[in-house]
Structure 1
Amino acid sequence: MTSTTASLPGTRSQRGTDRAYRLLRTVFTVAPVAFGLDKFAGLLTDWEQYLAPWVDDLVPGTAHQAMLAVGVIEVVAGVAVAVAPRFGALLVAGWLAGIIINLVSMGAYYDVALRDFGLLVGALALATLAFDRHQAQV
């Protein structure tokens, strides 16, 4: 397939790009909202264990209150991806970078930090696809 036909609407390449975009947009809408809401429910884990002591010292209140604020931010980030994926995906990527720094600075949870790095790359891929879609519509 030539580069000319690969960019035409309705081609196999375009359909694959559209599917990837929808999949990433769905995941980066649902996951932050689900994890954010779980900061209030506490069903998945004890979220406070993932808060670096130096971060806990910086923010006012208790670690639990900090994680509730994190939950609100995660819900907002998920909604932002749903409403404005170009910017919401960048917000999620930035948020994931902060989580990675927090975890690595603890000297623990490197496995979670590595997983979050993969998610960060996925969020950047979504942002790239969203910006391309926007440019194509303009």
Structure 2
Amino acid sequence: MTTKAAHTPALARDRKAEHQAFLLLRTVFTVAPIVFGLDKFTNLLVDWTIYLAPVATAIVPLPAQTIMYVVGVVEVIAGIAVAVRPRFGSLLVAVWLLGIIVNLLVLGGFYDVALRDFGLLVGALALNRLSPGTGIFR
């Protein structure tokens, strides 16, 4: 027969591991959107407009680079939201990634990137589940 005291070290380890996973995911989902968002203005990492489906510029009558500027601002805001309110920010990032995935599937040819972004979406949802607080905005 086990006692409650026997479970305390294991529970403490589990909570510590859960907290470490939370910190790791929050850090990544804060830094990555901010870095990629800022890069939309410089295109140092890649020419981001190649990932924009032509239907986007047909729907929003703006040049592709201007749309990328808007995307960059949203990504920076999403990263800051994860840092400040991880439960809400993680959902914002997940929805944003879903939009990116849909764009990539419509564009075609970037299915590997869409699959990678699906993995990131799952990570953002995991961050949401690990985030402390009971309300969506905590």
Q: Same fold (TM over 0.5)?
A: yes
Structure 1 residue ranges without an equivalent (≥5): none
Q: Counting helix residues as a fraction of each chain, which structure ranks higher?
A: 1
Structure 2 residue ranges without an equivalent (≥5): none
Report the counterpart of residue 88 of structure 2 in structure 1: 87
Residue 61 of structure 2: SS of its match in structure 1? coil
1:23 offset after TM fit, Å?
0.2
Scaled by the length of structure 1, the TM-score of the pair is: 0.89
Report the counterpart of residue 65 of structure 1 in structure 2: 66
Residue type at the aligned position of 1:19: Q
Report the counterpart of residue 30 of structure 2 in structure 1: 29
Deviating 4+ runs (over 4 angstroms): 6-9
Q: CA RMSD for the aligned pairs? A: 1.8
The structure whose Rg is larger is: 2
Separation (CA, whole Å) in 1 of partners of 2:9 and 2:31: 29
What is the identity percentage for the equivalent residue pairs of Structure 1 and Structure 2?
58
1:7 offset after TM fit, Å?
9.9
Separation (CA, whole Å) in 2 of partners of 1:105 and 1:41: 25
Separation (CA, whole Å) in 2 of partners of 1:53 and 1:124: 29
Indicate the structure whose relative CO is greater, using CA pairs within 8 Å and at least 6 residues apart. 2
Residue 44 of structure 2: SS of its match in structure 1? coil
Report the counterpart of residue 110 of structure 1 in structure 2: 111
Scaled by the length of structure 2, the TM-score of the pair is: 0.89
Report the counterpart of residue 44 of structure 2 in structure 1: 43
